[in-house]
Homo-oligomer: A and B are copies of this chain.
Amino acid sequence: MNILFVGDIFGSAGRHIVREHLPHVLETYQVDLLVINGENAAGGFGITPSIAEEIFDLGAHVITTGNHIWDKREIFEYMKVPADSHERGRRILRPANYTSTTPGFGFYQGQLADGTEYAVMNLQGRVFMSACDDPFRKVDELLSKITAKVILLDIHAEASSEKVALGWYLDGRVTAVLGTHTHIPTADERVLPGGTAFQTDVGMSGPYDSVIGVETELVLHRFLTGMPGKFEAAKGNPKMCAALIECDAATGRAYAIKRIMLGE
């Protein structure tokens, strides 16, 4: 069974490059399950219902997010669906370790056409990030509810240490632990000894002639002066970054992980 996870789509450049490459990647690798992080899909900051629809139309089974999830408020209502729903609003996740009173859910369990059950979890790190619940205990709690064998975690976090630690913590218990948030792909993809595919960061799907998606000049101005200024999504040099995981659908054990970076 093949799983494709696409890293944070950033702005229109990110949406275009993913739309361009996804069809042939899905076919080439015979992808069964598609998960896409969309936290920056709307101009770099958040995601709207119509952009979420656009990403689902590309074939995504689940959209994961991260700290930018609430940047566009239209998404609040879209995510207010019953826990046992399977509609699209239920399949866009916010980090599971946010306060339980926030809209939406942090994990989803579904079924592929062939009957294979799968689960996707989304967590946020705590090192160098705003306060949220303990991702280690939260993941234990989620796993106690999940019956699927094929399980993917998007750990949206800043610090390499926290993401790597979660990878080891979950080795043998989930199919893949994939990091997002730094917007730069790491070259450490591997299958850990217990059968969990791991990559510290999948990297963004967006414009790489930028500072992690934002127009370079705007970010440099901020660094050089400390003064405020609007951040805008860059356009140049778009690339789609993704991780392809091969696993045993019966056990959820990963066999291989492949890093993908596709440009124009």
Contacts and interface: CB of A to CB of B under 8 A. Distances in A.
A136 B212 CA distance: 18
A165 B227 contact: no
A42 to B, nearest CB: 14
Query: How many copies make up the complex?
Result: 4
Interface string A205-230: 00010011000100110011111100
Given A185-B187, A187-B261, A216-B168, A99 B161 contact: no
Contact of A186 (B131, B161, B165, B187): B187
Given A134-B99, A184-B160, A165 B261 contact: no
A128 B227 contact: no
A150 to B, nearest CB: 25
Contacts of A183: 160
Taking residues whose C-beta sits less than 8 angstroms from the other chain, chain A's interface range is 35 or more
A211 B128 contact: no
Contacts of A212: 160-161, 164
A126 B133 CA distance: 11
A161 B131 contact: no
Contacts of A71: 228
A225 B73 CA distance: 14
Interface string A164-192: 11001100000000000011111110000
Given A128-B128, A184-B186, A187-B187, A224 B164 contact: no
Contacts of A225: 99, 101-102
A162 interface: yes
A62 B219 CA distance: 31
A203 interface: yes
Nearest to A128: B128
A99 to B, nearest CB: 5
Nearest to A162: B223
Contacts of A160: 182-184, 212
Given A70-B227, A137-B99, A220 B184 contact: no
Contact of A158 (B99, B134, B159, B184): B159
A122 interface: no
Nearest to A95: B226
Interface in A122-155: 126-128, 130-134, 136-137
Contacts of A162: 223
A161 B219 contact: yes
